[in-house]
Amino acid sequence: MARQQKDDQILELARTLREAPWCEEYEKMVSGMLYNPLHPLLMEGRHKARCLAYNYNNLNPSSAPFDKLIETQQEMLKGILGKVGPGTFIEPPFTPDYGCNIIMGENCFMNFGLTILDTSLVIIGDRVQMGPNVQIYTAGHETSVLSRIKFVEFGLPIRIEDDCWIGGNVVILPGVTIGRGCTVGAGSVVTKSLPAYSVALGTPAKVVKTLPSVEEELADPNNPFRNMPDRED
C-alpha cells in the first residue's frame, strides 16, 4: 500500500543522485506515496533513460579492444545510474525506468537482460551478482480499480545488501530488502524481505537454509575459499 507522507530518509539519499527529475511528484514517487506518472518532468526523465540505455545496449562490441570497450561501458553506466562504484558491469541489454534512482556499489556483475523499474530507489551494495533476466520492480499499484482510472501509482524502495547472489529470472517486488550474503534461487519471486546469509527459493521465495557469515568463513581453517587470491581489478 502507498505511504501517506514523504520519506525523509529516502529524500535525503535521493538528493545525492545524478540528475533526478526533482519536483513535487518526484518527491512523492520516491517516498512511496501516490503520484502522477504523467508529470512532464517525470516523463522527460524516463525518456532520457531510454535514450541512454539505447546507446548502452547498442554499443558495437567490435568497435574497440575488450579492455577499452569495458572502460567505455563503465563510463556510460555513470551517465545512466544515480551512483555506481568502480568495477561494476551490466551486460546489455539493460532496461532501467529512470536509471537515476539506482545506486550500485563496487565490483557488481549483472548478466544479460536486467530490468529495473526504479520508480523508488534501488540500492544495491558491493559485490552483488545477478544471473540473466532478473527483474526488480519498485513500482506498485493499489488494488482499487478507481486508482487505475485516476492513473495514480506508487513505488517502494528495494535494497540488496553486499555479497548477494540473485539467480536468473528472479523477480524482486516493491519494498523488499535482501540482507547481506543471501542467495536467491533461479526463478524465485521475492515478495518479502530476507534476513542476511539466507538461501531462499520458490514462489513466493522462502528461506530454506542459513549460511555462515563472512567472519565465520574466514575463521574456519577448512573453508576451501579462505586462502584463494583476492579479485584483481
Query: Which string of DSSP letters, residue by residue, matches 55-113?
Result: HHHT--TTSS-HHHHHHHHHHHHHHHSSEE-TT-EEPSPEEESSSTTEEE-SS-EE-TT
58: left (phi over 0), alpha (psi -120 to 50) or beta: alpha
Which cell numbers in the block locate residue 99?
Answer: 536509471
Q: How many alpha carbons lie under 13 Å from residue 168 in its C-beta half-sphere?
A: 4
**What does residue 10 show for φ and ψ, rounded to 5 degrees?**
-65, -40
Among residues 78, 141, 192, 209, the one annotated as catalytic is: 141
47 catalytic, yes or no?
Answer: no
* 114 DSSP β-pair partners: 94
Beta strand 139-140 with 154-155 is: antiparallel
**What does residue 132 show for φ and ψ, rounded to 5 degrees?**
-65, 150
Name the residues annotated as catalytic. 141
